[in-house]
Structure formats: C-alpha cells, structure tokens
Amino acid sequence: MGAQMSHLKVNRLVVLRDVDSRSIKVFDEQFHDGLNIIRSKGNSSGKTTVVDFIYFALGGEHTNWKSIALECSRVILEIQANGTPLTLRRTVSTEDQLPIDIYYGPYEEAIKHANGWTSHAYSRQQRALSFSEVLFKALGIPEAPSSLNTKMTMYQLLRLLYSDQFADSLHIYRSDDWSSKDTQQAIGELLCGVGDFELFAKKTELKEVQAKVGDLKSSYRSLSKLLASFSDNAKIDIEAVISTVRQKLRSSESELDEAQSSYDLAHDQEVRKDKSRLQSALITHQKRLVKAEEDLKILSYENEERSRFIVHLEGLLEDFDDANEVFDALGHIRYTHCPSCFKDLPPQQPEACSVCGAPLEAGDQNPLALAARLDLEMQIRESQKMEEKAKSDIAKAKEKLRKEQKECKKVERDLAKFRNSLTSPQATFVASKAKEVGALEAHLDELENIKLQFGELATIENDLEEAERRFRKLTRDVENIEVSLTKRRSKIYTDISANTIDIIGKDLKDHNDFEGLRSFSFSFRDDSFYLNNMEKVTNSASSMAIAKVSFLLAIFKASLEDNEMYFPRFMILDNIEDKGVREVRSQNFQNIVAEISENSDVDHQIIITTATISPELDNPKYTVGELYSTENRSIKLEGLTVQTVHGRDVH
C-alpha cells in the first residue's frame, strides 16, 4: 500500500439555512481525533441528522431526508485526507447524484474565497475529475475496478464506513437496492487491501493480448499462404523485378509520348472530350492525394509532439512526487539568513515561513500541492485520450491516402484505355503501346503490393513475437498475484474474525447470547456474517445488533493494526443502542470502542451517536457538541413548524 496509511478525519461540520438572501448557521461543531461521541438525553434530538449530513457531504447518497434536514440549504464539511485539509460543500436536496464543491484548504480560508471552489460531478467525466476520484487520490485509495469494470465511488465505500440506525443487523452493508454481489465483494476487498484492482487490470490486459496473439497468428498464416510461391529471397527478387519493370515502363511511356505527339486528336471530338475529362479528373485526384499526404504528415507530427508532451508531464509528476518525498523527509526548512542577500532574518512564528512569514499549511500535506498534482494527472489523462483519438485519425488518414492513390492509378489507366478507340495505323500503334504501358503499370502495382505484403508480414512477425512474450509475462503475473491475494485474504479475514470474537466476548455476560462462540466468518459478496457457521444464532434483535457493530468495529480495529488495508481509519456508528440494546450494554460497547481507540497510536477517527452515554466517556475528550434533547435539538431551527416526511419521525 505504501508508507502512509489511508486516514480520513472530519474536522468541522457546518450546516446552513438560507433565509432572506442570508445564510444562517444552524449547526457548527468541530470534531477531534479518536473517539467522537454525539450524545443526547433521549431520542428525537437530531443525532442521526448530524451524521447523515457528514455521510452526505462525503459523497453518500441521501434522498429520504427527515423534514428538519430539508429545512437546511447546504452542508459544509472540513476534512483531512491523509493530512491534507479539504473543505467540501453540497446542496441539501431530494435529488440524487448531486455534485460536490471542493476547496483545497481549511474551512476558515474557504469561506473567504468565494471563487476558490471547484465543482466536481458525481460521475466520472472525460475532462474533469469526479469528487470520488479527488477524494480517492487524496486518501491514497486506488480507483479499483470491480469485475463489472466500473470504478468505485465514495458512496459505495461509505456503505461500509457508515452504519445507520435503520441498517439491517443481519447484513454487513448499509442498505442499497441496486448494488450487485460483485460490487459488494469489490468494496470489502478493496478496503481490506485484497482488492482485485491489480489482478483485474492484468487479467483484462491478458485477455486483450490473447485476442491480439490470435489475430496476429491468423494474419500471419493468411499472408504466408499468399506469399508461399515466392522464395525466401523474394523481397530481394521483387526489388530487382520492380527496377526492371520501371525501366521498361519509362521506355514504353517515352515511345507512347513520341507517337502521341505526332498524332492529331482534333479530328475525333469524342476522344478529345474523354481525354479532357479524364485529365481534369486526374488533376483533381492528384490534388486530393497531395492534400491527404500533407494531412497525414501534420497528424503524425502533432501526435509525436503530443507523445513528447505526455512524457514531459509524466516526468513532472515524478519530479513532483520526488520533491514531496524530500519535503516529507526534511520538513519545512528554517532559514536564519535570507537565501538571496544572506542578511539575518527576523524571527518568525514556528507555524510560519522563516523567510516571508506567511502561515504554513496545517496537516501533513499542502492542499495546493494536492490540487497541483490532480491537475497534472488530469492533463496527462486528457493528453492520453487525445493521443488515442489521434491514432485513430492517423489510421483514417492513411486509409484515405491509400484510397486517393488507388483513384489516381485508376484514372491513369482509364486515360490509357481511351487510346484503344483510335483506328488509323498510327492510332493502332498508339493503342498497342498504351496497352503495353497499362499492363506494365498493373504489373508494377502488383509487385509493389507484394513488397508491402512482405513488409507487413515482417511487422506481424515482430508484433507476434512481442505479444507472445507479453502474454507469457502476464500469465506469470496473474498466477503470482492470485497466490499473493489468496494469502492476503486469508490473513486479513482471519484477523477480522479473531477481532470480532474478541469484541463479542467482552459483551456483558448477563446479556450475551453468544457464549460458546467458536467461529466467526463473513462474506462481503453475500453481505452476510456467520456465527458458528450460522447467519442467525439467536432471535434476540439486540444481540444481533451487537454482533453487527462488533464486526464493523473489528474491521476498524484491523485497519489500525494492518498498514496494507485501504480502510481510511474512519467509521460512523449511529445509535448503537438501537434494536432494543439495553443502556448498560450500550455503555459497555462504548467503553470497548474507547479502549480500542486509546490503545492505538495510529491516526484514526470513529464517530458514534448515543442517547445513553457511558459515564466514563461523558467528558470533552470524547464528546462533540452539546447534550441534545427534544428541547435542545442539534439543528437550531427555532420557531419553525417541523413535520414528519415519508412517515419517519424527526430526529
């Protein structure tokens, strides 16, 4: 995965409501590292609405809003993605697949720069990055294709990172009506560092190369059969024959021109008209031929320049990454003397540049550096797409050139044919000589075609050799990756299962329905987990709810211990006392979460909501915001008449 573990952290959530052309804050709270608890006295106070807003701002799909949420206009979320501060802004709406505005910097800076935001669509665009692509790159998560050849989105990842109070306790993922089993497996395995992104790419290329080998072999057999009558030195023989035929053609053309010059075509008006028409047609086709040759030269030159530009951009990207590595190793250089005039520099604050005094970016990475890198990658992607189109245009230009060459030769032959209509002895000689010229031209065309076919055969032979070499390498790569992935999958799945058994084992004995739990397994593909090889070992909804959140917490715990996981060390658990979980049991689970968080030195964040906070955790180290209640809701919409939407209670 790399040296840096993927880490997502929510810094600040701001919810706005537009009133009379003004934006009023109805929620504004900051979050911290580690465990964050949003608490209330009783339910229906807006805890779920807060985490729904976080989920939505990160790219989740949410159209079935509670009525109090629909009273809001926009949500703004400051996050850190692998240390890089980013601010996300999204309009609250019942529409789906809405874009996200991104500012490359913290919230306080973002609100001062109205024109500094960049809008990113939900779906991947040809000339712009989707918001999922931006966040994936910021988090160092590969854009893993599933077996359906689709790219992952933040929405899909959040189905595992966010467990809401309406989630089914018998299933792993947040509910979704249209995700396939392939997608579910891809989500889980990507986050666990077992994703088939490299294997999928290799297998896809392997299929393409295999098909290419088959096509090249077929072409090679066909051409070899066609040229079988020629000796091994046919190309040399053809060159000699072409030279002889050209000499004969020049001689015959000279004799024909001499005969034609002494013959007066003025007596035959029809023949003269035919000749004039064909000569005009020949001039037209020759102009087109010259144009086709020029177009091909221009396209080829431009594509060569574009290829060099792509190499240049890729070099810049490598230099950019090398510079970042050096900066990560050395940190901000503290100058004591001006690097220009060498005079002593006045002392600056530790968080400011030692030369100019400008404040240094908080976090591990500069958001402007991320924006610059994404821009370079976008330029490379656009240039590569243009290069692919240029290759297609060049192929079309070559085909057009061949067509014009063929048309020119056809008109030239037609010019020779009309001479056969002459009837005088002199005309008969001209016609005979014209026929001879035409035959020589046709023979020369045939020889040139055979020469091209031998050249094509040599090219196919070289391409086939290279394709077979690539096929053998890809086959070995696929076999090695599959072995490696099998080992990796076994290890991480074993760790997660062991974590789950350990966490469930810490459940209160008086409430635990899982005594004697010997095994725990799960299937991302089937969206199911199994205790002692059974999906449901108890009829207790509360115990199954504890089993579900224990499993999710086990994945989170594994990510703190395994740096190969792409899981961003971030999770939201909403209303863990749901499904009838007793207060004391919920508080015990909260303490388990706190223990896991406290015992880890890895950057992480887990957000939970509860109406029954554990007394040991009810302090600012863990809590976020006020103690909410029906009288003191999280979303401050005083004076509004709030109704239920879609039959759901307001929270």
pLDDT in tens, 553-593: 999 999 999 999 999 999 999 977 777 788 999 999 999 99
In a domain, 624, yes or no: no
Task: Supply angle C-alpha 599, 364, 602, rounded to 5.
Answer: 10
* Whether 381 and 457 share a structural domain: no
* Whether 205 and 184 share a structural domain: no
* Whether 205 and 113 share a structural domain: no
* Whether 234 and 286 share a structural domain: no
Structural domain including 569 reads 8-191+506-617
Length of the chain: 651
Convert the pLDDT of each residue in 7-19 to its tens digit. 999 999 999 999 8
In a domain, 49, yes or no: yes
CATH number, domain containing residue 592: 3.40.50
* Whether 162 and 298 share a structural domain: no
Mean pLDDT score of the chain, rounded to an integer?
Answer: 81
Other C-beta atoms lying within 10 Å of the C-beta of residue 455: 11
Taking the model in full, what pTM does it have?
A: 0.69
* Whether 480 and 539 share a structural domain: no
| Between 562 and 270, the higher pLDDT residue | 562
* Whether 303 and 347 share a structural domain: yes
Residues ≥6 apart with Cβ < 8 Å to 156: 179, 183, 187
In a domain, 637, yes or no: no
In a domain, 221, yes or no: yes
* Whether 224 and 253 share a structural domain: yes
Q: Among the three residues 452, 469, 496, which one is the final residue of a domain in this structure? A: 496
Maximum separation of any 2 CA atoms in the chain, in Å: 123
* Whether 79 and 131 share a structural domain: yes
Convert the pLDDT of each residue in 100-139 to its tens digit. 999 999 999 999 998 999 999 988 776 788 999 999 999 9
Convert the pLDDT of each residue in 374-427 to its tens digit. 878 878 888 888 888 888 888 888 888 888 888 888 777 777 666 555 555 666
What would the mean pLDDT of 193-221 be, rounded to a whole number? 80
In a domain, 575, yes or no: yes
Residue-level pLDDT at 632: 92
Residue-level pLDDT at 370: 78
Residue-level pLDDT at 520: 93
Residue type, 118: T
In a domain, 517, yes or no: yes
In a domain, 481, yes or no: yes
Q: 384 near 303, Cβ under 8 Å?
A: no
Q: Among the three residues 387, 418, 449, which one is the final residue of a domain in this structure? A: 418
* Whether 152 and 36 share a structural domain: yes
Distance from C-alpha of 293 to C-alpha of 22, rounded to nearest angstrom:
63
In a domain, 514, yes or no: yes
What proportions of the chain, in percent to the nearest 5, are helix, strand and coil?
A: 55, 15, 35
Please give the structure tokens belonging to residue 302. 């431009």
CA dihedral 57, 141, 487, 481 (to 10 degrees): 140
* Whether 47 and 72 share a structural domain: yes
Q: How far is CA 25 from the centre of its chain?
A: 35
State how many domains the chain has: 3
Convert the pLDDT of each residue in 321-356 to its tens digit. 766 665 555 555 666 767 777 777 787 766 667 677
* Whether 162 and 196 share a structural domain: no
Q: Among the three residues 386, 418, 450, which one is the final residue of a domain in this structure? A: 418
